[in-house]
Structure 1
Amino acid sequence: MAQRRTDRVTISDVAALAGVSTAAVSKIVNGKGSFPQATRDRVQRAVVQLNWAPSAAAVALRGARTRAIGMVAGRTPDVLNSDPHFALLIAGIESELAPRDHGLLLHIVGEQPDAAERAYRRLATERRVDGVILTESRVGDPRFALLRGLRLPAVLVGTPWQSDPVPTVRAAEQDQGMADAVEHLVGLGHRRIGYVSGPEDRVHTGRRRAVFTEALARHGLSPSHLLASDFAGQTTGSLVEKVLATADRPSALVLANDMMALAALAAAQRTGRQVPRDLSLIGHDDLPVGHLLHPRLTTVRQDLAGLGRAAALSVLQQLGEEPAGPLPEVTPPQLVVRESTGPAPG
């Protein structure tokens, strides 16, 4: 009997295009086995090129759900190690996933522009996660369109680059903490106030800088300095030292996170200046380390754990594993005044 031809793409087609066996394709797609990364990449490219997916029966046999949520961190491991920001966010995510027998699959991919895209494609084609949590939207962010094309449910923590159907979680009145920081410093008599932001390509960098500048303008002031550093504070210290050596040096600095504020505190001490007598400092996030400093750090408290909880529940709602409804409220940013801010120098 003649075999009826079909145009349906099969696993054999993928194997032939990738130059591997069908068994290798099956294992790579299902996240099993040990293969060189080059082999995995060839299989993934073949899967995308041929638009192949396992049959419904095969998917049913191994379970349609992985019970895992993915998160791709576009930072290097050493930066994550020095910045507890992500640890607090992950703690909030896990507090909702773990009781529901879901896991978090974290990929640390570095800063290369296409590294995150490759990671998301692997997660989708190998069917390793049911959905993903995005952080730190960037200017020109391509991830939203990519994930829609991959049909992978997603939620963004923070403000998107542009309006997009991908759901977002963020605090109400998210700009109030920065505005209150400026009001606090102006109320202490400061007139030369600078801001040290994170990398320029992050959406929240531009947003916070705009809020900072607008808050100063309400008092007829302009920023004394606008600087950009890395989030881990590795370049912050040298920047602050240079600024403090100028004739128009600021009497106060607001920094994009607490790790950068720690670096600024160390720079002030190296240059013989006392905080807050000679320089007032305000951080952001209220990380635990800020309580251990001398002087203790004035900062803008951000509900990172609350953001993580809301993000996890948003993804689970999209998957139909939680009833639709309002997400838990995220506490708005709040200025916490401690000893690193004081009256402007006379």
Structure 2
Amino acid sequence: MGGSGKPTISDVASLAGVSVSAVSKVVNGKSGISTATRERVLAAAAKLRWTPSATAVALRAARTRALGMVLRRGPGLPGTDPPFTLLVDGIERELTPRGYGLLLHVVGGEQGAEEAAYRRLAEEGRVDGVLLTGSRVGDTRFALLRDLGLPAVLVGTPWDDDPIPSVRATHPDRGIRQAVEHLLRHGHRRIAYLCGPGSRVHTHHRKRVFKEVLGENGFVPSPSVVDGDFTPAGAAVGVADLLAGPRPTAILFADDSMAVAGLSAARRLGVDVPRELSVIGHDDLPLSELVHPRLTTVRQDLVGLGQAAARVLLAALGEVEDAPVRVNPPELVIRESTGPAR
């Protein structure tokens, strides 16, 4: 019992063998609770003669006017990165005029840290819903958030069909297709691709398109397609390995930070860009125009993705009408880091 001798929500949860958040969902009539669990909670509440106070119910029913994001960053990855900053810019463009804020949690890569962060957000009632990024193979977050009763929207393409809504660019494969076709037109035949981690859904989709375009033109990936880790250090090592064997004449990178690091690594090894090696990045971040030679890259509408995701989630919460934001398709931006194959 609580300190006052009166039963508390924790007492009910303990007797029913469920979490406090499960009791809260039953009391507030939220989804995500099985019939059996609901009956156990109601039976425990009746046995303890517990009822929530009117004040507590009112507080729980009130909107926090905040959306949450949990950003997982393993060793070697910064807490924030330029693509994420642009995505947040788009999210804030939708939230700020409506009096909403964004609550960001950055967690490490250790087992269970991300799940614990989502559970805290739900149990403490700190957000009305969450935005998910970094779509993953075998993503377990969807089932967790349904269990927690938190509305969610994914930025990206889910690995499997899932009822949680997602937003993505129109014609998402267009940028990689244009990049490979650009290199083929310039005589490149030994084209390598330094991808993102194999756990990411977009890595699989982009590799598929990369191989499809080469196959349509009668070529196979040569010398290799390599999974990376999104770190500049990893990109530099990957480029050194690629250049140590049969040299590619062009390398595509999963993002601009990797491309800039790879470009620098090639030049340190005495390889001229673009005379001996063409380099293409992805995202078209501001840094792509600040390096020498200026980076050819695939422009991605990250601000538009953020806006679209925020609007879909706000619509699910009844805050806005369900009017989708158009997300521009990826597009190749040709600058100075690509040229004819030698």
TM-score above 0.5: yes
Deviation readout 1:154-183 (Å, 9 max, x if unpaired):
100000010111111101100010000000
Partner in structure 1 of residue 269 of structure 2:
271
| Cα displacement string for residues 130-158 of structure 1 (whole angstroms, at most 9, x for unaligned residues) | 00000111111011111111111110000
CA contact (8 A) 1:10 1:52 kept: no
3-state SS in 2 of match to 1:173 = coil
Deviates more, 1:54-63 or 1:208-217: 54-63
Cα deviation, residue 116, structure 1? 1.4
CA distance in 2, matches of 1:145, 1:197: 28
Give how far 1:110 is off: 2.0
- The answer to whether the Cα contact below 8 Å between 1:310 and 1:327 also exists between their aligned partners in 2 is yes
* CA distance in 2 between partners of 1:190 and 1:52 (Å): 61
Structure 2 spans left out of the alignment, 5+ residues: 1-6, 28-51
1:169 aligns with 2:167: yes
**How many residues align structurally?**
308
* Aligned 8 A contact 1:191 1:251 in 2: yes
1:71 alignment partner in structure 2:
69
The change in CA–CA distance for 1:61 and 1:273 in structure 2 (over 3 A counts) is closer
Contact 1:139–1:201 under 8 Å retained in 2: yes
The alpha carbon displacement at 1:79 in A equals 2.1
Identity %: 58
Structure 2 counterpart of 1:47, one-letter code: V
Of 324, 327, 343, which residue of structure 1 is paired with 2:324?
327
Aligned pair 1:145/2:143, yes or no?
Answer: yes
Map of 1:3 onto structure 2: none
Counterpart of 1:108?
A: 106
| TM-score between both structures, scaled by the size of structure 2 | 0.85
1:257 paired residue among 255, 258, 261: 255
Flag the 1:100–1:60 CA change in 2: closer, same or farther, 3 A: same
Q: CA deviation at 1:16?
A: 7.4
Residue of structure 2 in register with 1:47 after alignment: 20
Distance 2:59 2:287 in 1: 48
Separation in structure 2 between the aligned mates of residue 263 and residue 327 of structure 1, nearest angstrom: 36
Shift of 1:298: 0.2
What residue is the counterpart of 1:239 in the other structure?
238
The 3 A distance-change label for structure 1 pair 116 and 56 is: farther
After TM superposition, list the pairs within 5 Å mapping 1:4-19 onto structure 2: 10-13=8-11
Cα deviation, 1:85-140, whole Å, max 9, x if unaligned, reads 10000011011101111000011112234221111111111100000000111111
- 8 Å contact kept, 1:178–1:212: yes
Are the structure 2 counterparts of residues 317 and 56 from structure 1 closer, same or farther at C-alpha, using a change threshold of 3 Å? farther
Q: Distance in 1 between matches of 2:229 and 2:271?
A: 23
Q: Is the 8 A contact 1:303 1:330 kept in 2?
A: yes
Aligned-residue offset at 1:14: 6.3
Distance in 2 between residues matched to 1:15 and 1:192, nearest whole Å: 62
| Contact persistence 2:311–2:324 (CA under 8 A) | yes
Instruction: Give the C-alpha shift of residue 332 in structure 1.
Output: 0.3
Instruction: Work out the CA distance in 2 between the residues paired with 1:12 and 1:310.
Output: 39
Equivalent residue, structure 2, for 1:25 = none
1:51 to partner: Cα distance: 3.5
Equivalent residue number for residue 199 of structure 1: 197
Cα distance in 2, alignment partners of residues 267 and 81 from structure 1: 24
Cα deviations by residue, 1:278-297 (Å, 9 ceiling, x for unpaired): 10000000000000011000
Listed one character per residue, the Cα deviations across residues 296-322 of structure 1 (whole Å, up to 9, x for unaligned) are: 000000000000000111110000000
Aligned 1:184-195 pairs, distance under 5 A = 184-195=182-193
Cα distance in structure 2, aligned partners of 1:56 and 1:172: 49
What residue ranges of structure 1 are gaps of 5+ in the alignment? Answer: 1-8, 18-44
CA–CA distance in structure 2, aligned partners of residues 231 and 56 of structure 1: 50
**Which of 310, 334, 338 is 1:337 aligned to?**
334
Give the CA deviation at 1:10.
3.2
Contact 2:9 2:23 in 1 (8 A): no
Shift of 1:11: 2.5
Give distance in 2, aligned partners of 1:313 and 1:157. 12
- The residue number in structure 1 matching 2:178 is 180
Q: CA deviation at 1:83?
A: 2.8
* 1:63 positional shift: 5.5
Assess if the C-alpha contact under 8 Å between 1:66 and 1:128 holds in 2: yes
Match of 1:36 in 2: none
RMSD: 2.1
Letter in 2 for 1:231: F
Change (3 A) 1:124 1:12: closer
Matched, 1:128 2:126: yes
Q: What SS class does the counterpart of residue 79 from structure 1 fall into? A: coil
Who is 2:307 aligned against? 309
Runs of 4+ that moved beyond 3 A: 14-17, 50-56
